[in-house]
Structure 1
Amino acid sequence: MTFGQQPQGNGNPFGQPQYGQNQQPYAQSPYTQNNYGQPQYGYAPNGTATMNAQTAYSYEQVQQAQRASVTKAYGEMTIGLIITAVVAVFTQMTGAYVAFISATGLIGFFLFAIVQVGLALYLGARIMTISSTAARVMFYVYAALMGFTLSSIFIVYQLSDIGIALGMCALFFLVLTMFSLTTKFDMLKLGPILMVGLIVLIISQLVLMFIPGVGEATRIICAIGLVLFAGMTMYDAQATRALFAHYESQGPEMIRKISIVCALNLYLDFVNMFLYILQLFGSRD
């Protein structure tokens, strides 16, 4: 409104940061890959997957542990979205965002955006050194800040349009996630393409901000952005699973950290898809 981790992005139509990580947007994740872009797994001599240097687990146990980890990441993402929604509604009811912008003007708007970007960048850069509790708190704070900013959509769009866009986004996100986690197609190979697409999208939006009377062009850009973030959602779903497979031997604390990073990426995919859907189908006031 997005890490030694996984792909990044930057920016949405409301000036929100996308993927404030310490790598290039949607670069390949740091887990080990082979020549075909597939994550490599370590196996013990008897054919069982190795969870750590001392203990070998069955393939079924490894798969079960990975599913639990992926579920944890999506759970953290859901909590972040709930925090954003609650803060956005509360901010709109109290008029806090309007009062803030009225008092600070564009300086306050850009300063607030910089704080959000900085928080995401710090989380991405320090995830391997800070505790999982600190990472979780930072993610929740980021979600709250996003909610404060997103309260502005209640000024621009009708409540019914916001509800419809949210429902469409949730269904779209669920379908994309299920497809990406069950298909044999490797979305991780598309990382460079998604990165280039994201850069072009950001530049296009910045240019259109300074060109009056380009309503139809804006809708085209929104449609492209929706398709792009659909691809990013599938990419991040597969990257989440691969990251857990790579770091599972480093203990529960590392798994908790990775779950926060993956949750932030998925969270930003959801928020940006929601905003593009809202701009495409919502009636602006």
Structure 2
Amino acid sequence: MAQNKSGYTRLENPPEFSAVNPPPPYNAGVPVVVRPAPPTASGNPMYGQGGSGYPQHPYPTAAPHFTEAYQVDKPGHSDPPPEYENKQFIGSGLDNEAVRRLFIRKVFSVLSLQLAVTCGFVAVFTFEPHVKLFVMQNAWTYWVGYVVFLVPYVVILCCGEFRRTHPWNLVSLSILTLAMSYMVGVISSFYDTDIVMMAIGVTVLVCFTVIVFSLQTRYDFTSCYGVLFVCFIVVLFFGILCIFLYNRILDLIYASLGALIFTCFLAVDTQLLLGNKTLSLSPEEHVFAALNLYLDIIQIFLYILRIFGKSRG
């Protein structure tokens, strides 16, 4: 390398550029960022066709045994991007929000059908005197309904793969809903019609308020799930104690605590649908989510019915 009179530097042996050893691109000082790709990406210009699985250097040097591996594709003739490059956009925020909204609509649609079936059973057992008489004379049918309810409930609760398999998850949920509706109807038949109607009205008001508040508030109820579970165990043992020490006041306290606990559970299970809290459900768990909400509402109704029945004496 020598310098001439003009002050420019002249290369004695200038480098030779060819298709194998192309010149570096001129980008006005902007750094070239190469996005790495998986080793199995076929058709990617950053990878050779020989299946070596290692990316090429942006500026390869000439090598006799790597001549074919470092061929540069012509502009406009490269293969379309592989599928893995599009998968990174599937989990974007907009897509997640759309999936979550579809999940919420699906859960509340299933829940509406369940509550409609249960209200139909309650209406029949409340307003039809012949059905009331049959239930009072055949109380064993309640325990049969309880067994029919318990089998699909345990299966849905314990078998995660089963409750995500269509259509068996919906079949199990339908059997469970029919059995629970029958049991609620049997219990309602032992109360007066006006008490049942008042319990239904209060339950609708309480559940609607709790669900709307849980969907709108920023407070995270799911973080209190452990505390609620401990409170539920305490109320459960308190209910067992009330069986042996029967007292009207104790029974009212037990029913009030039970309604309060399951109202809090309804708020927690509602926020499990949102996906932006400490705990959340997968969009594939629409059957499990509908079952939780349904059981919470049924328990609230039964405890409120018990409160009104005991208060009237």
TM-score under structure 2 normalisation? 0.63
Structure 2 residue 291 is the aligned partner of structure 1 residue 264? yes
Structure 2 residue 279 is the aligned partner of structure 1 residue 238? no
Work out the CA distance in 1 between the residues paired with 2:287 and 2:189.
Answer: 31
Structure 2 residue 166 is the aligned partner of structure 1 residue 139? no
- Contact 2:281/2:289, CA 8 A, preserved across alignment: no
Structure 2 residue 229 is the aligned partner of structure 1 residue 195? yes
The 1:127/1:146 distance shift into structure 2, 3 A limit, reads same
Q: Which has the larger radius of gyration?
A: 2
Q: 1:182-227 CA deviation, whole Å, 9 max, x = no partner?
A: 2221111111111111111122112212223x00111111111111
Work out the CA distance in 2 between the residues paired with 1:54 and 1:196.
Answer: 41
In structure 1, list runs of 5 or more residues that go unmatched.
1-51, 249-254
- Quote the residue 1:247 is aligned against: 282
Matches within 5 A, 1:1-285: 53-56=87-90, 58-90=92-124, 93=128, 95=130, 99=134, 102-103=137-138, 105=140, 109-129=142-162, 131-212=165-246, 214-242=247-275, 247-248=282-283, 255=284, 258-282=285-309
- Quote the residue 1:17 is aligned against: none
Work out the CA distance in 2 between the residues paired with 1:225 and 1:158.
Answer: 22
- Contact 2:221/2:271, CA 8 A, preserved across alignment: yes
Work out the CA distance in 1 between the residues paired with 2:287 and 2:179.
Answer: 17
Q: 1:156-203 CA deviation, whole Å, 9 max, x = no partner?
A: 222222122212211211111121122221111111111111111122
- Contact 1:73/1:263, CA 8 A, preserved across alignment: yes
In structure 2, list runs of 5 or more residues that go unmatched.
1-85
Work out the CA distance in 1 between the residues paired with 2:99 and 2:290.
Answer: 17
Name whichever of 148-157 and 161-170 sits farther off.
148-157
Q: 1:103-126 CA deviation, whole Å, 9 max, x = no partner?
A: 574xx5445423322220112223
Work out the CA distance in 1 between the residues paired with 2:130 and 2:115.
Answer: 21
The 1:219/1:113 distance shift into structure 2, 3 A limit, reads same
- Contact 2:148/2:179, CA 8 A, preserved across alignment: no
Q: 1:6-57 CA deviation, whole Å, 9 max, x = no partner?
A: xxxxxxxxxxxxxxxxxxxxxxxxxxxxxxxxxxxxxxxxxxxxxx945336
- Contact 2:142/2:186, CA 8 A, preserved across alignment: no
Residue identity over aligned pairs, in percent, reads 21
CA displacement at 1:95 relative to structure 2: 4.8
The 1:158/1:133 distance shift into structure 2, 3 A limit, reads same
SS in 1 for 2:89: coil
Work out the CA distance in 2 between the residues paired with 1:235 and 1:156.
Answer: 31
CA displacement at 1:229 relative to structure 2: 0.9
TM-score under structure 1 normalisation? 0.68
Which structure exhibits the higher relative contact order, with contacts defined as CA atoms closer than 8 Å and separated by 6 or more residues?
A: 1
Q: Which structure carries more helix by proportion?
A: 1
The 1:136/1:97 distance shift into structure 2, 3 A limit, reads farther
Query: One-letter code of the match for 1:84?
Result: T
Number of equivalenced pairs = 223
The 1:122/1:142 distance shift into structure 2, 3 A limit, reads same
